[in-house]
Amino acid sequence: MQAALSLAKVAADKGDVPVGAIVVNESGEILGTGQNLREQNNDPTAHAEIVALRNASEKFGSWRLDDLTIVVTLEPCAMCAGAILQSRIKRLVFAAWDEKAGAVGSVMDVIRDPRALTKVEVITGIMEKECSDVLKDFFNTKR
């Protein structure tokens, strides 16, 4: 989570919402990284999770990311939750809950919907305070 948080801080420094994500294998080797790039790239799909999944797929040589874990500083939105399912990721670990747009339990639960074609293990609350504080600080400077 520390690596994802570092990426989130880079996103904040560049004026984007501070969310970071990494994709790792069972050994903990980082295969993909991402941070929010929506502002930088003028791309509404450039969420940290999407960027990390694309990066990992490139390095892994497949869109199928079976047996890999995605670690993200904020609960994924519906778009990112759907992409995580489509990538066949084995495990999702996230820090802070997103009470406005979260799609892994806060507002809806796309990942654990019983109709989902794949099953993803979900682990929450890792470094929750640290990741929440970075988000709060970012939005406090915007208001």
Answer for the pair 39, 59: CB distance below 8 angstroms, yes or no. Answer: no
What's the Cα-to-Cα distance from 80 to each of 27, 54, 77, 102, 137, rounded to whole Å?
24, 12, 5, 10, 23
Measured CA to CA, the distance from residue 31 to residue 26 in angstroms comes to: 11
* Three-class DSSP category at 123: strand
What stretch of H or E contains 34?
strand 30-35
Catalytic residues: 49
Residue 23 CA, chain-centre distance (Å), reads: 9
Name residue 123's beta-bridge partners: 93
Measured CA to CA, the distance from residue 142 to residue 57 in angstroms comes to: 34
